Amino acid sequence: MTIVPFMVAWSLRDNTTLINNGTNHGQLIVPPKRLDYHEWVGFDAFSQQNKGELQGHWLIANIMPKAECTKICLEAILKTKQLRLMLNKDLPRVRRLVLVLAPLASDYAEQLWLKDSLLWRLKSAGTQEGDLLYDGYLQDTAKLDPQMVARLTANEKLALALHSDLLRFQPDTPAVSQIKSVRADGNLPEGMLFLIDPLGNLMMQYEPGFDPYKVKDDLMHLLRISQIG
């Protein structure tokens, strides 16, 4: 019985027509690109400590191709937070991942991860002020200062409020080459999204501006078919 899930995943890798039934919203990567996580470096202590989470789970992978994350990049990262929560009972089978492909200043990165943890609170407030603040903080030059952090985390334990499920990794050169080979010109635009299966196969891509609800449809379909991860 332990072999059956791996046989199913292997079959999906070599027979993409099993899932390409005309209903998928993303673009299948044919053939899938195999990624090896062993040489990847965690961008921070949390990611390094949880490196084992990369294997055996479906990965929703955002790409940061530049040493900055503009509005379209940050929006894509925040969409994956929404997307994972929409999976309900299948949430434990999926992890969120950002692949950092260019050197990123630590203070700049700290703001990104802070926004990933907190900006949803502005959006969920459902007020005009909250929406305006949300849109403003999407700009990479806008910073969440201590006063705003305190406002958004009032009456909560700060460490718990700032916790994020987002894994951040710097892939090795062979993995970067594999990822870039998906595009004919080798250039990865900001805001792209990839799905990676539990065996490490880069198998579906989405263009910037993707609809998280459509990605959810594809991912739920894959989860039903594979029963792995």
Q: Which are the contacts of 80, defined by CB distance < 8 A and separation ≥ 6?
A: 60, 62, 96, 166, 193, 212
202 within 8 A of 33, measured Cβ to Cβ: yes
Using the predicted structure, report yes or no on whether residue 81 has a pLDDT greater than 90.
yes
CATH architecture of the domain formed by 23-105+164-226: 3-Layer(aba) Sandwich (3.40)
Provide the pLDDT confidence category of residue 124 given band limits of 50, 70 and 90: confident
Provide the pLDDT confidence category of residue 14 given band limits of 50, 70 and 90: low
Strand partners, 62: 98, 193
What rounded mean pLDDT belongs to the chain? 89
Provide the residue ranges of all domains of the chain, joining segments of one domain with +. Answer: 23-105+164-226
99 within 8 A of 62, measured Cβ to Cβ: yes
More confident residue, 125 or 93: 93
pLDDT value of position 4 = 43
44 CA to centre of own chain: 16
Using the predicted structure, report yes or no on whether residue 177 has a pLDDT greater than 90.
yes
Extended strands (E) in 58-106: 58-64, 94-100
